[in-house]
Structure 1
Amino acid sequence: MRLARPAAVLTTLSVALLTACSAPSGPAGPGGAQKADDTFVIGLSSEFENLSPVLGYAADGGSLIFDGLMSRAPDLSLKPSLAAEAPVTSADGKKVTFKLRDGVTFHDGRPLTSKDVVYTYTTVLDPKTSSPISGDYAAIGKVSAPDARTVEFTLKYPYAPLTQRTTLGIVPDGGVDPAKPVGTGPYTFTQWTPGDKIVLAANEKYWGGAPAIKKVVVAFAPDDNVRSTRLAAGEFDATVLPPKAAKRFEGQQGVTVYKQDSADYRGIMFPSKPEVTGDLAIRKAFSLAMDRQAMVDTILAGAGKPAFGPISPDISWHNKAITGNPAADLPQAQQVLDAAGWKQGAGGIREKDGVKASFTIMYPAGDSLRKELTLAAASDAKKAGIEVKAAGLDWDAIEPRMAQDALMMGYGSPYDLDYINYDLFHSAQAGKGFFNPGHYSNPKADAALVKGRESGDPAVRKQAYDEFQQLIHDDAVWTYLAFLKHVYVVRGAYQGVQQSVDAHEHATGGLFRDIHTWKPAS
């Protein structure tokens, strides 16, 4: 997944911010300028396309500029944020009512009212907005404000994840200048220098208490090695690194390496239309040929676990029938290819009706982890007679090729299964940017996703999502390789750091959700 796409990077800011907390005095900051003692610099791998919640920024909560009606505790449970208390849901599940917290103001001094909440959600749903997250709120029929402190969501059908979706940041009624975002969060926007950095300042009047960290700079550095080098030089106070790149910092005085559990996976998305990747036998054999355990042990330095589907075994939604051999099963892979008519050809590469078993896997060039996984996958596939050409490209080059070439992608969420999976696998989402880029279409999978989305019965939803997981496993839509542990490197020691389970890389949850509550350890 491209982190800089609106629906994919919604929450990158908070993750980056959380780690940037203990700058030593004196080192140069971004661009070589002297860094002030009260400034904390985070090295982030990719730049945001926008800071607008209605366009998808921080939809899962975790923006330091914006608050949602609800937020997440470290254990991922929901807690009131701009809401004064948990919402009330009607007996039929079609009306959800929130009461707003008193005394909250936007950064520009305007008081928060229910009209701001109505404006935010109706703008997301307005087709003229073309919001990439509008589908996540499709169950909403109407949002109304009976009074200044009350918000009512009237739903088209009972939608169990509705309250989880209300982590979306609230913007002022009428909107704001996109170049100067205004929210209610613990940090205020100061400056955005495209291609370089974003600067935030503590909101001293924040309803939840003024942050101890007074200034945060998010510096953009796509290359993993560059971020590692700049952190080592003291230019960054914190960053997120692949496990192997972070090893140099383990045991260093004044530096803490956090390894965070996650539902974040890496896997290969196959386009369904091309002749080779559109062949189920190729996809199944490819998956069987993967030595996932070796990838975890070497490329991830043990910071992860083999993956066979999009739902982590650590999550209750996981279908226990979805499993596999962590090591490669080459005899089975070869048997699948033989049965499908893919015969050994020149150089050991299989052929069928004059077509070589050959395709390209793209990966973002600056992402060393995805590069290594792609090269390992190519090596494993060759043993089964499948030729893989690895192509490291920038995201602008990758995006228009996703319907033709495979892609090393990443997604994952520990929240409700409606998250991400509907967008990634329902046929109605086919070709919508990084949603269902391979144009997967299976009416049974569509029906299971809709049932899981629209039912209010937990047992019905579990059965629907178990069926969904089985279908995409049988169709070998992706080859899932590993669930990652996220590795954060932070200078200094802080009180209030709480670990949890992360969603996709740089998304909300886990270690960095509450950076505004961190305090330097005495």
Structure 2
Amino acid sequence: MRSVVPPGMSRRGFLLGGAAAAGALAVGCGQGAGDTETFTAAFQGSGAGEGIDPGVNTLFIDEARMKAVYDGLFEIDGAMRPTPRLAASAEPNADGTRWRIALRDAQWHDGKKFTSRDVLYTVARVLGPPQRRPFIAASTLDQVDLGQCRAVDDLTVEIALRQPSFEFPAALSAYGTKIIQDGATDLTRPVGTGPFVFESFEPGKQFVATANDRYWDGAPSVRRLEIISAESDARLAAVQSGQIDFADNLTPASARTLRGRSGVSLESTPNSGIYFFAMKTDRPPFDNPDVRRAVMRMMDRAELVKVGLAGEGEVSNDVFGKGYQYYADLPQHGYDPDEVGRLLSRAGVRDLSFDLFTAPVAYGFVEVARLFADQAARCGVRVNVVLGSKDSYYADALNTGQLTMGQSGPLSIPNHFASRLLTGSPQNRTKWSDPEFDRLYARAQATPTEEGRTAIYRTMHEILYDRGGFVFFGTTNWLSAARDTVRNAPAAVPNSHDWARFDKVAAR
């Protein structure tokens, strides 16, 4: 058997080849029939940029490792609703300014009891002085009044807020909120409450953990978990040959190769990746709402999905979160060159020309950009495709350019609004700033009923759908593959609780 070793990784690091192939699942000696010895999963890597600190690291491969070691109070399900994990329950007071959270009876990997002090320490760390890399949940949790929070007892914590929020569990399910142990300062050898106990980690190479037999949600069948960094071609070749058990985030071309192949099960999870264009609303020409409306009608979304994304997805409609809680189902924006002309005439714009800044950072980006330029040309608009650096694109695109591209994983709609669309939001790629929109968001948070919040969020969506800066043109399928010698391999929407979890995997 020929080994497939990703660039920069030794044969030993990838654990491939010969009789010791880590991809082989075997019934463990002395274990139950459903137990497995070693399970190897491959994810898209990012070299030295990878990490294991749940407060600052955000790559998909980072999240997979942290899901193995840590738990959050809440995580989100496939519809982006918060679901309790280390929190057994959570109840607000009458005005939504205090939440009392009952905690599960759980243990840290070193045997210490999980308590409310761990929760308060985690929140204080996130809201405290930033380190070299900012804490990613600092803006999500900035409503917390840390001085007024308290441990009621070992398994009850009370979180005080500066303003009402009846959706605080959604904030506690966001990136950066996994619970770390009280007093932990060195997270390079993490101690968690999760299903696997940390053993070793080399950025850009390999993470190893072993089963936590005292896990509160049941001991894993997998006895040893290995998560490795590998590029797309290496992931495909390794899962084909049986050298790994699971490959995440495959390309449409890889899916075509694997479909119908014996020994491998391909999973295609719809509505998992959200592709968008982002118009900078604070600068010409997109400071004019009629120009933004024109761009929304300048795109043949079906052609973009079919050609640029190889048909592995569905048309989207400039409204974030199709299929998620609070999604507003509005009439589909269509490709309409005549309407483009009318809108640009009303805006007083002639011979419209602008740059589209993109880079090959995700599947189909460059192809989609060039296809959109062709579509715009048929509307009498010139789009200049400018290619940036793959390594720095997302940081560059946050502040530079007129029109940029991006890809989002699933996210709850309240968190999408808070992190990307409120004035001053840290990931405000469109530079959107609208006082009415900000007021509506605060009102939604203070509304105690889901029905009432749904109505407010619909109004917010209608504002964005009419004159916002995002054009969400397609949702993509998330493609993963597993050897058919296993069952319960994760196949779920990225960022949801069931994605990249290996504690329920077992041998067939």
Structure 1: which amino acid aligns with 2:186? D
Q: SS where residue 508 of structure 1 aligns?
A: coil
Query: Would you say the 8 A contact 1:59–1:165 is kept in 2?
Result: no
Structural mapping, 1:50-449, within 5 Å:
50-55=51-56, 63-72=67-76, 78-83=82-87, 85-102=88-105, 104-128=106-130, 130-141=134-145, 142-167=148-173, 168-221=177-230, 223-237=231-245, 238-262=247-271, 264-321=273-330, 323-325=332-334, 328-343=335-350, 350-351=351-352, 357-363=353-359, 365-384=360-379, 385-405=381-401, 406-411=403-408, 413=410, 415=412, 417-429=413-425, 432=426, 435-449=427-441
Q: Report the CA distance between 1:78 and its aligned residue.
A: 5.0
After superposition, the Cα gap between the structure-2 partners of 1:40 and 1:248, relative to the gap in structure 1 and judged at 3 Å, is same
CA distance in 2, matches of 1:74, 1:319: 17
Q: Report the CA distance between 1:132 and its aligned residue.
A: 2.4
Q: SS where residue 222 of structure 2 aligns?
A: coil
Structure 2: which amino acid aligns with 1:333? V
Q: SS where residue 359 of structure 1 aligns?
A: strand
Deviations 1:228-253 (A, max 9, x none): 34444545431212334311111111
Query: Would you say the 8 A contact 1:304–1:482 is kept in 2?
Result: yes
* TM-score normalized with structure 1 length: 0.81
Q: Report the CA distance between 1:366 and its aligned residue.
A: 4.2
Q: Report the CA distance between 1:193 and its aligned residue.
A: 1.9
Query: Would you say the 8 A contact 1:322–1:473 is kept in 2?
Result: no
| Identity over aligned pairs, percent | 20
After superposition, the Cα gap between the structure-2 partners of 1:100 and 1:267, relative to the gap in structure 1 and judged at 3 Å, is same
Q: Report the CA distance between 1:136 and its aligned residue.
A: 1.4
Q: SS where residue 294 of structure 1 aligns?
A: helix
Q: Report the CA distance between 1:398 and its aligned residue.
A: 4.3
Q: Report the CA distance between 1:414 and its aligned residue.
A: 5.7
Structure 2 residue aligned with 1:508, among 493, 496, 504? Answer: 496
Structure 1: which amino acid aligns with 2:327? H
Query: Would you say the 8 A contact 2:75–2:83 is kept in 1?
Result: yes
Q: Report the CA distance between 1:44 and its aligned residue.
A: 1.9
Structure 2 residue aligned with 1:32, among 11, 16, 34? Answer: 11
Deviations 1:400-439 (A, max 9, x none): 3432323211225463x2112211011122xx3xx00332
Q: Report the CA distance between 1:184 and its aligned residue.
A: 0.8
CA distance in 2, matches of 1:402, 1:337: 26
Deviations 1:9-54 (A, max 9, x none): xxxxxxxxxxxxxxx9987684222433424131325466532233
After superposition, the Cα gap between the structure-2 partners of 1:217 and 1:372, relative to the gap in structure 1 and judged at 3 Å, is farther
CA distance in 1, matches of 2:77, 2:328: 26
User: When the two structures are aligned, how many residues end up with a matched partner?
Assistant: 471
Structure 2: which amino acid aligns with 1:410? Q
* TM-score normalized with structure 2 length: 0.83
Deviations 1:289-323 (A, max 9, x none): 21111223334444322112233443352223353
5+ residue gaps, structure 1: 1-23, 344-349, 352-356
Query: Would you say the 8 A contact 2:109–2:197 is kept in 1?
Result: yes
Structure 2: which amino acid aligns with 1:393? S
CA distance in 1, matches of 2:54, 2:111: 19
Q: CA RMSD in A?
A: 3.1
Q: SS where residue 149 of structure 2 aligns?
A: strand
Q: SS where residue 209 of structure 2 aligns?
A: strand
Query: Would you say the 8 A contact 2:240–2:264 is kept in 1?
Result: no
Who is 2:507 aligned against? 520
Q: SS where residue 124 of structure 2 aligns?
A: helix
Q: Report the CA distance between 1:170 and its aligned residue.
A: 1.2
Query: Would you say the 8 A contact 1:402–1:437 is kept in 2?
Result: yes
Q: Report the CA distance between 1:75 and its aligned residue.
A: 6.9
315-324 vs 223-232, which moves further:
223-232
After superposition, the Cα gap between the structure-2 partners of 1:137 and 1:99, relative to the gap in structure 1 and judged at 3 Å, is same
